[in-house]
Amino acid sequence: EEDDAGKRGATGGPGGAYVPPHIRKGGAASSGERMGGKYERDDLATLRVTNVSEMAEEQELRDLFERFGRVTRVFLAKDRDTGRAKGFAFISFVDRA
């Protein structure tokens, strides 16, 4: 005896064929699926900054980039063992300008 899930396959299509999310029964809206959570954000107003000093601090980067617009988030990649910056950061702004 095989249940409906077995007949559709893991992806929702007959015989295991891929079915895009917007076509699936009860599928996501046309804008696509979102995972949500605290990491969801709009990357259109985010800069990747490289060649950042090992000694850099998040507040220093925020102060430096505030002159270009309101900063909403600063992510400074740090080494887990030493706590020093890895050399890159992401700066998110309210508006893309």
pLDDT > 50? residue 62: yes
- Considering the entire predicted model, what is its pTM? 0.56
Candidates 57, 54, 86; CA nearest to 74 is 57
**3-class secondary structure, 43:** helix
Q: Around 1, how many Cα atoms within 13 Å sit in the side-chain half-sphere?
A: 0
pLDDT band at 61 (very low <50, low <70, confident <90, very high): very high
Instruction: Name the amino acid, one letter, at 19.
Output: V
21-45: b (≥16 Cβ within 10 Å) or e: eeeeeeeeeeeeeeeeeeeeeeeeb
